[in-house]
Structures are given as C-alpha cells and as structure tokens.
C-alpha cells in the first residue's frame, strides 16, 4: 500500500479485508464488480438520507404519522431501504427529549446515518448515556431544562432508533431541502438539536 511516497505494510484489518475479498472472488461467491457496488452503496449512506426523512416529516403530517407508526415502511416510501430491521422513530416534544445508545456494541441506523461516529461506539458513551444522560448531553453542549424528561433508547441487533427532532422556530415556509440542511447526524441520535441559521 502506497502512503506519502513510501510503501507501508497492510494493517491487520486491511490484510483480513484483502484476503477475504480475494477468497470470495476466487471461490466464485462474489465478483469484483459486486464487491465494488456494495462498497459504493455503503459509502453513499450519509446522514443526509436521515435528514431527508426528518424534513419530510416536518412538512408532511401524514408522512410524520406513518413514520412514527412504522419507520421502516415510511423510509421505503422515500426509496430508502431499511433491510431486515425494525426502525423505531421517537419524536422529541417540548416535554420529552430522546437520545439513542447501543449499550452492547454500536447498533446504529447506518442506512440512514452512515458510519457511526467514534464517540457513539466508545465505552464511555455507551455506559454513561444510560446512567447520566443529562450530563452526557451537557458535554455535547445540549443543556436541557430540568422539566424536560429524557428518554434513552437502547438499539439492538434487529431494531434501530432514529430521533425525530423538533422543528426549530423560524423555519416556517422553508423548503424541504433547506430544512434537511439543518438536520445533523447528532440531531437524529439525540445529542443535539437543529438550529435555524
């Protein structure tokens, strides 16, 4: 592998990836093209997908109701495949703020949010989000009133959560595209709130 003009040996995980890929191709299980297409699909999964879902829910109350009733099916309406998973959408309100964690590993709606951030996978976040969510949120710069109840949702291998944040004041009349631009990955995990800018 070439790096800055010099050759560096593969890391353990790079070597495992190359070995497995070559074996799958050699045995005829997959083709190079299939692998390349899958890798490209994974790379195309970004938080902008989830932001589209949130923005649609903000402007279309019927879609919002369907999203909360069955997140998987509602996402499929937008052409977003949520394979073999139950997507549960939890809605923030003036009285309740939701946040998501996976206490066992890093289960996360990758198909809507892309690759999880390192902090989401960290033991620190996974343990503290459940025990002291208000303190964790404060460390993210989100200080909520004591009157607001915080609900922490623990993802599992077959169920993922997505936070539907509250639409910020001052966004009336905004297009769906403009609304989607203010929805960040952290808003959909519940450690931030969208801001009208």
d(CA 191, CA 128): 13
Q: Is 187 a catalytic residue?
A: no
Q: What pLDDT, on a 0 to 100 scale, did the predictor assign at position 2?
A: 46
Secondary element (H or E) of residue 136: helix 133-139
Do 80 and 49 form a contact (C-beta atoms < 8 A)?
Answer: yes
Domain co-membership, 76 together with 168:
yes
Q: What pLDDT, on a 0 to 100 scale, did the predictor assign at position 5?
A: 60
Kindly report the number of other CB atoms within 10 A of residue 127's CB atom: 13
In-domain check, residue 68:
yes
Catalytic residue among 75, 107, 155, 187: 107
Instruction: Using alpha carbons, list the distances in angstroms from residue 61 to 14, 31, 64, 91, 106.
Output: 46, 44, 5, 13, 31
Do 92 and 166 form a contact (C-beta atoms < 8 A)?
Answer: yes
Residues near 141 by beta carbon (within 8 Å), at least 6 away in sequence: 192
d(CA 21, CA 19): 6
Domain tally, the chain: 2
Q: What pLDDT, on a 0 to 100 scale, did the predictor assign at position 3?
A: 52
Instruction: Using alpha carbons, list the distances in angstroms from residue 189 to 6, 104, 146, 192.
Output: 40, 16, 20, 8
| Whole-structure pTM value | 0.82
Catalytic residue among 75, 102, 155, 187: 102
Q: What pLDDT, on a 0 to 100 scale, did the predictor assign at position 149?
A: 98
Q: Is 105 a catalytic residue?
A: yes
Give me the long-range contacts of 140-144 (CB less than 8 A, separation at least 24): 140/186, 140/191, 140/192, 141/192, 142/191, 142/192, 142/193, 144/97
In-domain check, residue 7:
no
Check which CATH number belongs to the domain holding 101 and give it.
3.90.330.10
Q: What pLDDT, on a 0 to 100 scale, did the predictor assign at position 4?
A: 53
Catalytic residue among 19, 44, 105, 127: 105
Domain co-membership, 148 together with 61:
yes
User: What does each of the 197 residues of the chain score in pLDDT, given as a tens digit?
Assistant: 445 566 788 888 788 888 988 998 899 998 989 888 877 777 777 899 999 999 999 999 999 999 999 999 999 999 998 877 899 999 999 999 999 999 988 888 888 999 899 999 999 999 999 999 999 999 999 999 999 999 999 999 889 999 999 999 999 999 999 999 999 999 999 999 999 97
Domain co-membership, 158 together with 182:
yes
Residues near 193 by beta carbon (within 8 Å), at least 6 away in sequence: 92, 142, 165, 166, 168, 187
d(CA 87, CA 151): 17
Domain co-membership, 65 together with 22:
no
Domain that holds residue 33: 12-43
Q: Is 102 a catalytic residue?
A: yes
DSSP state of 111: H
Q: Model confidence over 12-53: pLDDT tens digits?
A: 878 888 898 899 889 999 898 988 887 777 777 789 999 999
């Amino acid at each position: 592998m070439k790096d800055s003009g010099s050759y560096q040996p593969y890391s353990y995980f790079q070597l495992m990836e190359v070995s497995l890929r070559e074996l799958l191709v050699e045995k005829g299980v997959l083709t190079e093209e299939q692998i390349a297409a899958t890798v490209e699909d994974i790379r195309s999964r970004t938080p902008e997908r989830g932001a589209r879902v949130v923005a649609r829910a903000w402007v279309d109350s019927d879609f919002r109701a369907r999203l909360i009733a069955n997140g998987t099916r509602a996402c499929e309406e937008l052409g977003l495949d949520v394979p073999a998973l139950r997507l549960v959408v939890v809605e923030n309100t003036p009285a309740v703020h939701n946040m998501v964690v996976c206490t066992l590993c890093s289960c996360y709606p990758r198909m809507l949010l892309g690759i999880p951030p390192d902090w989401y996978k960290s033991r620190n976040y996974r343990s503290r989000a459940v025990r002291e969510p208000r303190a964790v949120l404060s460390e993210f710069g989100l200080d909520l009133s004591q009157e607001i109840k915080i609900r922490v949702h623990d993802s599992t291998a077959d169920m993922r959560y997505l936070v539907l944040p509250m639409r910020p004041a001052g966004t009336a009349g905004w297009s769906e595209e403009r609304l989607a631009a203010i929805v960040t990955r952290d808003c959909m995990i519940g450690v931030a709130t969208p801001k009208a800018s």
